[in-house]
Structure 1
Amino acid sequence: MAKVFITGIAGGFGKPTALALLDRGNAVAGSVRSRAGRNADTVAELEAAGARVVEMDVTDTASTEAGVAEAIAALGGLDVLFNNAGIGSYGIQELMSPEEMGRVFDVNVTGVQRVMRAALPHMRAQGHGTVLYTSSLIGRIATPFYGTYSASKWALEAIVECYRSELSGFGIESCIIEPGAMPTAFFDGMVAPNDPDREVGYGDFAQVPAMSAAGLAQMLDATPDQRPERIAEAVAALLDMPFGKKPFRTVVDHTGVGPQIERYNELLHDVTRTVFTNFGIAQMLDLNA
């Protein structure tokens, strides 16, 4: 039985993952920004299934430190940390204000750093641990209207590359999960630019993001395998693998994009190992298959 902490446990990926891990006999705790409001029913369902839920805001350092400490105490330890909390954004890149960009990065990048700084002292002290991260296929490539979100996930991938090597000597393995687009409430809470004065300068093109989003929704409706439960299955499969033998990146996609990203990931894996070998530090990659 593993002791698992999931940030964003009430979200589209967090809830099915928590329920799947509980069904498999794991002890699960998770964080939400607030137990009330739109999260209330989900929190009640998760707690009824056996999860411990703590209030925690990953954009606030004190809240994050307190929330992680509470979760570790409730679990009686921490074996697996799943950095899953995130926020999306969508719109023409020029229209995105610096403040709107900062909000996305504060959750998706700096928020992960806050959680890691709160959890890693415990994992390093015990000499083992597994850290999972929710990235995205567009954390590997960039597509129109997702520039800010892609940039945040590219940044996440970069810091996880460093954590992977820097934590390996402490017995802490790292795994990135890269989902394709999924039909979740994630799309309802995305940061969208609000700059009508600049938008006028784009003329008819300003209507294209909405048309593109509608097309994506239709595609997802027509792809029944592209569902959040696939993430839960991927997490469970990773945790079933022997320690130190898990892949560093796992693509979860049924839209046809996944194989291309996997090809890219394989090439980067080879380049990374070659560079590390040339510098005499290839052993820092040994905690992944």
Structure 2
Amino acid sequence: MTRELRSLITGSSSGFGRATAVTLARAGHRVFAAMRAITSKNAGPASELAELAAREGLALRVIELDVTSDASVDAAVARVLDEAGGVDVVINNAGVLSQGPLEAFTVAQAEATFQVNYLGAVRVNRAVLPAMRRQKSGLLVHVSSAVGRVVTPLFGHYSASKFALEAMAECYSYELAPLGIDVAIVEPGAFPTTGVMANAMQADEARAAEYGPLFALATELWKPVIETMKRQGPPDPQQVADAILRLTALPAGERPLRTVLDPLGNGAVEEINRKTADVQRAYIAWMGLGGVLGRAGG
């Protein structure tokens, strides 16, 4: 690495976010590990990260950032820019899960899912992009999901929010490529110990129960994954952090738009990506925008 990369990561209290923050810092990045409630709910994780950074001499600072608040996002980004003088890598990792029939979640719960999984990234990107445009470089990474490309029953609102994230990120890839800014989407499949299940939104069980066998199917959905884990062992979330590190190390303009990390999957996401990439390229060319794809849309 020729110079220290200044990296901001949301949702760093656990799972992929925490692993990525530590991995990038150990690789020489100057990391701002962002999470909400660092003096209350996440005081423990915040303190543990700070202690690890001090013990290993890492350039890693924990900062307060709630992706659902414009003021919090703006304040956090202003702090990063003030302390680091700019930002090179932004990783939109914060997310919230919901599992159950769509009808069993209120409109307020659906809105809350989109506030974190989609609008959170919109806020962060909008806050950091002026600085990236001024320096004519940067990388926006969006941690999506396999169900951001394939629909799974009982994950409707979560899947919809990740589909929206994917569409937004791909659109950004076209718009930002001429400005020297790369965009990447990381699509993890089922990984254990990411912290997402522990904070999952709860469905209205009475309404969900009215779906009968479909509601009971919730426990069955994971059987193929569980059986694969028994044969192969559970995948290590560190794989996601390592993949993000590799993306940051690639030369500008050579980063793939999508990276699939679904060791327990059946190849469906990879197949969809291959087919839609061809269709998307043809569509963009038909619109007369083919030159944009020199740095985007791969």
Distance 1:220 1:93, change over 3 A: farther
Q: Which residue of 1 aligns with 2:30?
A: 27
Q: Residue 199 of structure 2 aligns with which residue? A: 189
TM-score by length of 1: 0.93
Match of 1:57 in 2: 66
Question: Where do residues 211-230 of structure 1 align in structure 2 (5 Å cutoff)?
Answer: 211-212=220-221, 216=225, 220=229, 223-224=232-233, 226-230=235-239
1:166-181 superposed matches below 5 A: 166-181=175-190
Structure-2 residue corresponding to 1:3: 6
Q: Which runs of 5+ in 2 are unaligned?
A: none
The two structures have a TM-score, normalised by structure 2, of 0.90
Q: Is the 8 A contact 1:29 1:75 kept in 2?
A: no
**Which residue in the other structure is 2:142 paired with?**
133
Q: Quick one: distance in 1 between partners of 2:268 and 2:46?
A: 37
* 1:1-56 Cα shifts (integer Å, max 9, x gaps): 21110011113101111111111111100211111345223222322313111111
**Match for residue 165 of structure 1 among 170, 174, 184:** 174
Q: Distance in 2 between matches of 1:162 and 1:112?
A: 13
Structure 1 distance, partners of 2:103, 2:179, is: 43
C-alpha contact 1:4 1:26 (8 A) present in aligned 2: yes
Please name the residue that 2:102 is paired with.
93
The one-letter code of the counterpart of 1:17 is T
Q: Aligned partners of 1:194 and 1:218: how far apart in 2?
A: 29
Q: Contact 2:11–2:94 at 8 Å: present in 1 too?
A: yes
CA distance in 2 between counterparts of 1:129 and 1:122 reads 9
**How far 1:68 moved relative to its partner?**
1.4
Shift of 1:89: 0.8
In 1: Cα distance, 2:15 partner to 2:232 partner: 17
Residue 259 of structure 2 corresponds to 250
Give 1:251 deviation, angstroms.
0.2
Measured at CA, do residues 2 and 41 of structure 1 come closer, stay the same or move farther in structure 2, by a change above 3 Å? Answer: same
Q: CA RMSD in A?
A: 1.9
Deviation of 1:256 (Å): 3.2
Distance 1:41 1:29, change over 3 A: same
Contact 1:182 1:220 in 2 (8 A): no
Deviation string 1:137-165 (CA, Å, 9 cap, x unpaired) is 10001111111100000011111111111
Aligned match of 1:287: 295
Q: Give ranges in structure 1 of 5+ residues lacking alignment.
A: none
- Cα distance change, pair 77–268 in 1 and its aligned pair in 2 (3 A): same
Correspondence for 2:161: 152
Superimposed CA distance per residue, residues 181-234 of structure 1 (whole angstroms, 9 cap, x where no aligned partner): 1112111111121251x2342235433324435775665466435121010110
| DSSP-derived class of the 1:202 partner | coil
User: Partners of 1:57 and 1:38 in 2: how far apart?
Assistant: 12
Contact 2:98 2:202 in 1 (8 A): yes
**1:115 matched residue in structure 2:** 124
Contact 1:47–1:53, Cα closer than 8 Å, also in 2? yes
The answer to whether structure 1 residue 272 and structure 2 residue 280 are counterparts is: yes
Identity between Structure 1 and Structure 2 (%): 37
Name the count of aligned residue pairs.
287
Q: 1:280 to 1:205 in 2, by over 3 A?
A: closer
Determine if contact 1:29/1:74 at 8 Å carries over to the other structure.
no
Kept in 1, the 8 Å contact 2:67–2:123? The answer is yes
C-alpha separation between the residues in 1 aligned to 2:265 and 2:120? 31
